[in-house]
Amino acid sequence: MVEFNRRIKPPPFKTKTIEHIKKTTHQERKMWLEEAGYNIFNIAAENVYIDLLTDSGTSAMSDYQWAGIMMGDEAYAHCKNFFNLKDVIQDITGFKYFIPTHQGRSAENLICYAFNLTQSKVSISNQFFDTTRANIETSGAEALDLIIPEAFDPSLMYDFKGNLDCKELVKTLENQDNVALIILTITNNTGGGQPVSMQNIREVSKIAKKYTIPFFLDAARFAENAYFIKLREEKYKDLTPKEIAKKTFSYADGCIVSAKKDGLVNIGGFIALNDEKIYLKIKERMVIVEGFPTYGGLAGRDLEALARGLVEVLSEEYLEYRYNQVQYLGNSLVEGGIPILLPVGGHSVNLDARRFLPHIPQAQFPGWSLVNALYERYGVRSVELGSVMQAKKDKDGTWQYPKLELVRLAIPRRVYSQEHLNYVTDSILDLYEHRSEIFGFEITYDPGVLRHFTARFKPIK
């Protein structure tokens, strides 16, 4: 049993402005789901009571960030906010070059282009996020996940379930000479927001150097990862999150970042790196696809909000609050007997849909069913990280289902209160009592790539 402290510290901020949320009826939500093809992404946000679809781009900005919005310099080239952001990113990452992008996936796309990730090439990760995988695969290359086996046991308590399996990495590099890029995702979103240890980052870096493979971090949640290292790796317990983040980046050749997470902004991303040739290649490409390389698809005001968010996110008080809030939700569910992925991750609590709904086979998408039931009955929006997102056909055309079938409750940063999380817990406890009433789904429209965003479904009753 996880030790559970019901009294969590108050947040290190107070509320200055509010956004109204609306209660809707069960009947209304049932109708909206049917109209939406039972795809939660098609539900109007105003019809969601508690929105845990994602922690991406959903943060509440501070008064300091909003003040920065007014300081936006909207000059086309080399606006002053670009320089402010450059200083902050160089200070945290230590990388020589920096390029803003409008969000993480455009950074991924540019990196695939710059490293020429075309056919017969391979990129390796602990676990690729879905858009990173899609960018690599649509470029023609193979995206290979080498996560440690512990990651697949949902009830195993293990400090760094996001680690890359270094033995497998060496084995692969010994047998293949077509590996073009290693990307370590910190924290591992697909595996439930699980952290990667400094020891693992250092080891991957050493191996990458030995085999002369460029090593990048997908550092969307670099600050949360740093806080886990502080809590769980003895050697780093006296360092500040910023010192740990700096050390983390020092082992890599570059990073791609969706700033919509630990940038504490609603839009933005960036690439930072040391290799001048790759930097110039990206810059040239930027002009065609994103905009002039000093604004990267963003407004000057967005760059400023990000520069300020990146400083705020490394506050130890903030990270402690963030960690405690996510743990609080996870531990409340564990106390109520709900099967979740353990230990609780950095930005989300993940329900284990296979244990929650053992009567629904993976071919009928238990994770998807759980997401639908949570919204239909309680107005809580979550997201499936399971077979709709990750199942793949093998060479013989047989579906291969993922080992974990998760429903992610992602917690937006600085948005919801303890009372909101209590409502979510009570909803899930109630749903668990009625779990035998939940049914599976079949797909009626499958777009292929990133199908979870647009696929349509019908219930199997």
Ligand X SMILES: Cc1ncc(COP(=O)(O)O)c(C=O)c1O
Residue number, 358 or 447, with CB nearest to ligand X: 447
**Within 13 Å and on the Cβ side, how many CA atoms surround 148?**
20
Concerning whether 452 is annotated as a catalytic residue, the answer is yes
Q: Which of residues 216-245 bind ligand X (CB under 6 A)?
A: 218, 220
Instruction: Pick from 39, 58, 131, 139 the residue near ligand X by CB under 6 A.
Output: 131
Segment contacting ligand X by CB under 6 A, of 71-79, 125-133, 224-232, 367-375: 125-133
Site for ligand X contains 104 (CB under 6 A): yes
Q: Which is nearer to ligand X, 56 or 390 (CB)?
A: 56
Q: Is 130 a catalytic residue?
A: yes
User: Which residue out of 64, 76, 152, 445 is catalytically annotated?
Assistant: 76
- Binding residues for ligand X restricted to 27-56, rule: CB under 6 A: 56
Candidates 29, 86, 121, 260: give the one binding ligand X (CB under 6 A).
260
Contacts of residue 61, defined as CB under 8 A and 6 or more positions apart, other chains included, come to 69, 264, 265, 266, 305, 309
Tokens of 118: 């075309």
Question: What sign results for the dihedral spanned by CA atoms 48, 50, 53, 55?
Answer: positive
Q: Which stretch binds ligand X (CB under 6 A): 97-105, 118-126, 195-203, 439-447?
A: 97-105
Let me know if 218 is a catalytic residue: yes
Clarify whether 78 is annotated catalytic.
no
Q: Does 254 bind ligand X (CB under 6 A)?
A: no
129 is a site residue for ligand X (CB under 6 A): yes
Pattern 172-201, binding to ligand X, x per CB under 6 A?
A: -------------x---x------------
The beta strands (E) that lie in 388-439 are given as 392-393, 399-400, 406-410
d(CA 34, CA 358): 24
Applying CB under 6 A, which part among 13-21, 128-136, 277-285, 437-445 lies near ligand X?
128-136
**Catalytic member of 129, 227, 228, 249:** 129
Site track for ligand X across 343-362, x = CB under 6 A: --------------------
3-state class of 372 per DSSP? Answer: helix
- Please select the residue that binds ligand X; options are 39, 59, 84, 103, rule is CB under 6 A: 103
Beta strand 269-273 pairing with 254-258:
antiparallel
Q: Specify the DSSP class assigned to residue 360.
A: S
E-only strand ranges, 355-405: 380-381, 383-385, 392-393, 399-400
Residue 319: alpha-carbon gap to chain centroid: 16
Catalytic residue among 141, 143, 208, 220: 220
Query: Is position 322 an interface residue for ligand X (rule: CB under 6 A)?
Result: no
Q: 414: Cβ–Cβ under 8 A, 6 or more apart, which residues?
A: 11, 13, 59, 60, 62, 264
DSSP 11: P
Report the residue closest to ligand X, judged by CB: 104
CA-to-CA dists, residue 282 to 113, 119, 275, angstroms: 8, 20, 11
Nearer to ligand X, 142 or 224 (CB): 224
Smaller CB separation from ligand X, 62 or 132: 132
- For residue 41, indicate whether it is catalytic: no
Q: Is 129 considered catalytic here?
A: yes
- What Rg, from alpha-carbon coordinates, does the chain have? 21
What letters, b where the CB count within 10 A reaches 16 and e where it falls short, cover 155-194?
eeeebbbbbbbbebbeebbeeeeebbbbbbbbbbbbbbbb
Active site residue 220: yes
Active site residues: 76, 129-130, 218, 220, 261, 452
Interface with ligand X (CB under 6 A): 56, 103-105, 129, 131-132, 185, 189, 218, 220, 258, 260, 269
